């Protein structure tokens, strides 16, 4: 009799244990899907965080703390009432790092708390000495503001910023494009400030590619024979999705991708591994994110559209990127050496390849554009989208 009762209790304990494990796994999956939402999907254009203390200023130089102040190359310093641009580190000591002040507007002084700005330039194209026009692109959700700079070429360059970023991201590149004669259109997409409301979450390229399609239509109406698409981070995903899905993909003469988000799932996997989240929980959470918010993981496949369309690609990626794994770009470039020109930049963080070495970046940019935009535009035949 005792043996029978013990068996019943054991079975009950096991059943309860299994239920608890399932419940814990379900809760963990739900909670991690929420972390995925914050990591990749939610539209949050946060204000700068002024956390870097200026240690000293003098003789055209500024001293910043070790660590945060040691990012390679040219950067902006932003504070509540001013903006400066600083060059590469020229001296390092126990007290901090010294950088030249290239330009400053406002009172840059010791004790000031600043934010490092990867865009390196504030305001709009006029701040870079460029004539430009604020234009409106009529798109699927309404009116989208954009910057247009004129040029003499019939190839237009359309620039797409990263998620939760701003059009200022393009200011580093615009003077090079203008000097080469290319008209440009620096666009916004759904959920950007001033752009239509898209529901507050990104689709990681889909459906944002439809907003880019409207910009391509605008360029064609204004005289573009073909286009080159530029995308930073998720902006690269938007450009990839456009080439994959849009009937206008035949107009694309080339892609310039800077730290592109080619595989959002890899971002989630790395984030989970860094926080000791089991792989099966991360996998279930991605599936749950698809059910909750409709996000598509791994589509379109970059290799498929690259081979199908034969679009030349200039790819920049820093090996210190903590947002979009450089490994994905490494593998993509290695798999398609006939299509991809790969500039892997040592020490550069996410979207900071220009900052680390502007001369190298701009030389690669001009060489690529001279090739893909040479001669009369010839639309590409066939698209993955029909």
256 in a structural domain? yes
Q: Do residue 90 and residue 205 come from a single domain?
A: no
Residue 249 lies in a domain: yes
Residue 19 counted as domain residue:
no
154 within a domain of the structure (yes/no): yes
- Look up the pTM and report it: 0.90
| 314 and 259 in a common domain | yes
The predicted pLDDT at position 380 comes to: 45
pLDDT tens digit sequence for 232-272: 999 999 999 999 899 999 999 999 999 999 988 888 888 88
| Residues 104 and 214 reside in one and the same domain | no
With CA atoms as reference, report the closest residue to 379 among 238, 224, 268. 224
Burial 215-249 (b: 16+ CB within 10 A, else e): bbbbbeeeebbbbbbbbbbbbbbbbbbbbbbbebb
pLDDT of 386: 35
Quick one: 98 and 133 in the same domain?
Answer: no
Out of 93, 117, 141, pick the residue that ends a domain.
117
200 and 316 belong to one structural domain: yes
* Residues 83 and 225 placed together within one structural domain of the fold: no
* pLDDT, tens digit (0-9, with 9 covering 90-100), for 9-59: 777 878 787 878 788 878 878 887 888 888 888 998 888 999 999 999 999
pLDDT for residue 47 = 86
**Contact between 158 and 185 (Cβ < 8 Å):** yes
pLDDT value of position 33:
82
141 and 102 fall within a common domain:
no
User: Does residue 317 sit in helix, strand or coil?
Assistant: strand
Who contacts 160 (Cβ-Cβ below 8 Å, separation ≥6)?
A: 187, 189, 212, 229, 230, 231, 232, 235, 236, 238, 239
CATH number of the domain at 86, please: 2.40.10
> Rg of the chain's alpha carbons, rounded to an integer?
24
Residue 16, domain member (yes or no): no
Residue 171 lies in a domain: yes
Of 117, 141, 167, the domain-final residue: 117
One domain, residues 78 and 161: no
227 and 349 inside one domain: yes
Beta-carbon-side half-sphere exposure of residue 211 (alpha carbons within 13 Å): 32
Q: Which residues of the chain have pLDDT under 70?
A: 1-2, 298-309, 374-386
- Please indicate, yes or no, whether residues 82 and 180 belong to a single structural domain of this protein: no
Q: What is the pLDDT of residue 193?
A: 94
Same domain, 202 and 180: yes
Domain range for residue 83?
52-117
CA distance 309 to 97: 47
167, 188 Cβ separation under 8 angstroms: yes
Looking at residue 39, what is its pLDDT? Answer: 87
- Is residue 90 located within the same domain as residue 175? no
- Say if 305 falls within a structural domain: yes
The domain that holds 355 is classified in CATH as 3.40.50.1820
Residue 384 is assigned to a structural domain of this protein: no
* Domains: count for the chain: 2
């Amino acid at each position: 009799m005792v043996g029978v009762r013990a068996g019943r209790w054991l079975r009950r304990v096991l059943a309860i244990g299994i239920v608890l494990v399932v419940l814990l796994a379900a809760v963990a999956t739900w909670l991690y899907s929420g972390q995925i939402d914050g990591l990749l999907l939610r539209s949050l254009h946060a204000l700068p965080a002024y956390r870097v203390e200026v240690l000293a200023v003098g003789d055209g130089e500024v001293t910043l703390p070790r660590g945060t102040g040691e990012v390679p190359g040219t950067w902006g310093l932003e504070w509540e009432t001013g903006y400066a641009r600083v060059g590469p580190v020229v001296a390092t000591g126990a007290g901090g790092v010294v950088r030249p002040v290239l330009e400053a507007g406002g009172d840059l002084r010791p004790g000031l708390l600043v934010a490092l700005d990867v865009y390196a330039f504030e305001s709009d194209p006029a701040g870079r000495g460029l004539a430009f026009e604020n234009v409106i692109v009529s798109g699927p959700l309404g009116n989208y503001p954009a910057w247009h700079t004129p040029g003499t070429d019939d190839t237009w360059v359309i620039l797409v910023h990263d998620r939760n970023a701003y059009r200022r991201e393009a200011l580093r590149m615009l003077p090079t494009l203008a000097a080469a004669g290319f008209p440009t259109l620096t666009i916004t997409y759904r959920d950007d400030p001033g752009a239509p409301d898209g529901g507050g979450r990104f689709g990681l390229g889909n459906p944002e590619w439809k907003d880019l399609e409207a910009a391509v239509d605008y360029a064609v109406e204004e005289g573009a024979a073909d286009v080159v698409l530029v995308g930073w981070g998720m902006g690269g995903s938007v450009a990839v999705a456009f080439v994959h899905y849009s009937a206008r993909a035949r107009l694309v003469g080339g892609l310039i991708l800077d730290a592109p988000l080619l595989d959002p799932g890899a971002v989630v996997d790395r984030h989970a591994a860094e926080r000791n989240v089991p792989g099966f929980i991360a996998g279930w959470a991605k599936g749950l994110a698809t059910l909750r918010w409709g996000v598509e993981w791994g589509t379109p496949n970059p290799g498929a559209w690259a081979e199908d369309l034969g679009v030349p690609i200039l790819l920049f990626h820093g090996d210190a990127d903590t947002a979009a794994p450089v490994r994905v770009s490494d593998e993509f470039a290695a798999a398609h050496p006939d299509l991809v020109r790969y500039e892997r930049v040592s020490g550069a963080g996410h979207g900071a390849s220009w900052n680390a070495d502007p001369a190298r970046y701009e030389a690669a940019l001009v060489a690529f554009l001279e090739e893909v935009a040479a001669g009369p535009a010839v639309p590409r035949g066939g698209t993955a989208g029909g």
